[in-house]
Amino acid sequence: MKTLCTFIIFILLSFPLEAQDEYHDHEELTIKMSVEKVLKDYKNALESLDVSDTQHLFSEDATIFENGKFEGSYQDYLDNHIGPELGHFREFTFNDYEVHIRLEGEIAISFETYIYKIILNGENPRIVERQGTATSVLKNFDGNWKIIQNHGSSREIRN
Residue 8: pLDDT over 80:
no
Rounded Cα distance between 74 and 94, Å, is 21
Question: Could you give all domains of the chain from N- to C-terminal order, each with its CATH number?
Answer: 2-155 (3.10.450.50)
Which pLDDT value is given to residue 27?
Answer: 87
Rounded Cα distance between 75 and 81, Å, is 10
CB-facing half-sphere around the CA of 82: CA atoms within 13 A: 26
Q: What is the pLDDT of residues 85-144, one digit of tens each?
A: 999 999 999 999 999 999 998 899 999 999 999 999 988 889 999 999 999 999 999 999
- Mean pLDDT across 3-32: 65
Q: How many residues does the chain have?
A: 159
Q: What is the pLDDT of residues 49-70, one digit of tens each?
A: 999 999 999 999 999 999 999 9
Q: What is the pLDDT of residues 69-87, one digit of tens each?
A: 999 999 999 999 999 999 9
Rounded Cα distance between 42 and 57, Å, is 7
Which pLDDT value is given to residue 6?
Answer: 64
If one counts every other C-beta atom within 10 angstroms of the C-beta of residue 77, the result is 22
Contact 116, 98 (CB under 8 A): no
For residue 73, the cross-strand partners are 63
Rounded Cα distance between 38 and 78, Å, is 17
